[in-house]
Amino acid sequence: MSKLKVLLLTEGYHGMISQVEGMAKALKANFQHKVVRLNHIWNYIPPKLTPISSIILKDPDYINLDENFDLIISCGRKSVVPSIVLKRKNNKVLTIHIQNPKVNFKNFDFIIAPEHDSLSGENVITSKGSVHYITLEEIEKAKSYLENKIKGEKLVSLILGGPNKYYSFSNKELEKVFNDVKKNFISKGYKVIIIPSMRTPKRIIDLANQEFDKESLVINNVNKQAYLASIGIAKKFIVTCDSTSMISEVATSGKPIFIAHMRPKRDNYRFKKFFKLFKEMGITRDLGEKDESWTYNKMNEAERIANILNNKINN
């Protein structure tokens, strides 16, 4: 059986790319990724009020179906209408949207949404946390990248997100997180690997360099190999509370994850549902809780959902 040909549509952010590529890889498909660029005004209009027309695209010829894709996987608000437009041009193509599209679900063949989003419908498949592109094979291959840069039996990886509409990441909050890491881990003989993400501003990396001594390793730029390697060699993880995607990615390891909580600046009820779910599943605890070791089933929701999709697509 030949591989599926898949078109991926996102806004170009790491979390979205991780999810669509994760599903495409789990489906063992050949895929091509396109970043959606909308004409100025349509960047601010919700999908339900946007015309189903290629007029919204900056370059209507940039995204097309000339290559006869079998499947479109989209993620993010801006990709909703372009996916629907392409489906109308070729109704043989199957469409999957990841996250809540906030339009009629019937516009898509399948919707994949995390359980904490509380979506339901005949074509909705729910995931425990976020689907993503991290695999155990990639983690194993990347381990050597950091093995000569930091050594020790007791390594903990601090994975940093950055400001968003829910969390401000003030220096005061970060200093508290860093002090908690020192108190709960460094004081007990751990060495720390600090990993930034695409949303981590330079001021946070600079603060980390000031706060942690030379026994720690601060990665100063976004570096996927360092991220993967840290998942491979660290014994435990601390992940900031702003990213359910990063927490889900690290859960691929089956190793203990501590969440570094910060005060939200608006109602974060979806995050609370996610934190509760992962705590009940035995995956996470809160930074500051007793430093213990525990295990859980390694998470790979993309593969589990790919099996469901393959059965549905074949039928």
Would you write out the chain's pLDDT as a tens digit for each of its 315 residues? 578 999 999 999 888 999 999 999 999 999 999 999 999 899 999 999 999 998 999 887 767 656 689 999 999 999 999 999 999 988 999 999 999 999 999 999 999 999 999 999 999 999 999 999 999 999 999 999 999 999 999 999 999 999 999 999 999 999 999 999 999 999 999 999 999 999 999 999 999 999 999 899 999 999 999 999 999 999 999 999 999 999 999 999 999 999 999 999 999 999 999 999 999 999 999 999 999 999 999 999 999 999 999 998 887
Both tokens of 210, joined, read 């000031």
3-state secondary structure of 131: coil
pTM of the shown model: 0.91
Give residue limits of the domains in the chain: 5-133+302-314, 136-286
Residues 6+ apart with CB under 8 A from 228: 134, 138, 139, 141, 142, 145
Cβ atoms within 10 Å, residue 48: 11
3-state secondary structure of 112: strand
The arrangement of secondary structure in 136-286, i.e. its CATH architecture, is 3-Layer(aba) Sandwich (3.40)
> Are 134 and 228 within 8 A, CB to CB?
yes
Distance of alpha carbon 150 from alpha carbon 172, whole angstroms: 28
The fold of the 5-133+302-314 domain, in CATH, is Rossmann fold (3.40.50)
Q: CA of 185: how far to CAs of 87, 158, 177, 236, 289, in Å?
A: 52, 11, 12, 10, 11
Burial 147-157 (b: 16+ CB within 10 A, else e): eeebeeeebbb
Domains 5-133+302-314 and 136-286 are alike in CATH topology: yes
Residues 6+ apart with CB under 8 A from 257: 236, 237, 238, 239, 247, 250, 251, 278, 283, 284, 285
Give the residue carrying structure tokens 């979806």: 270
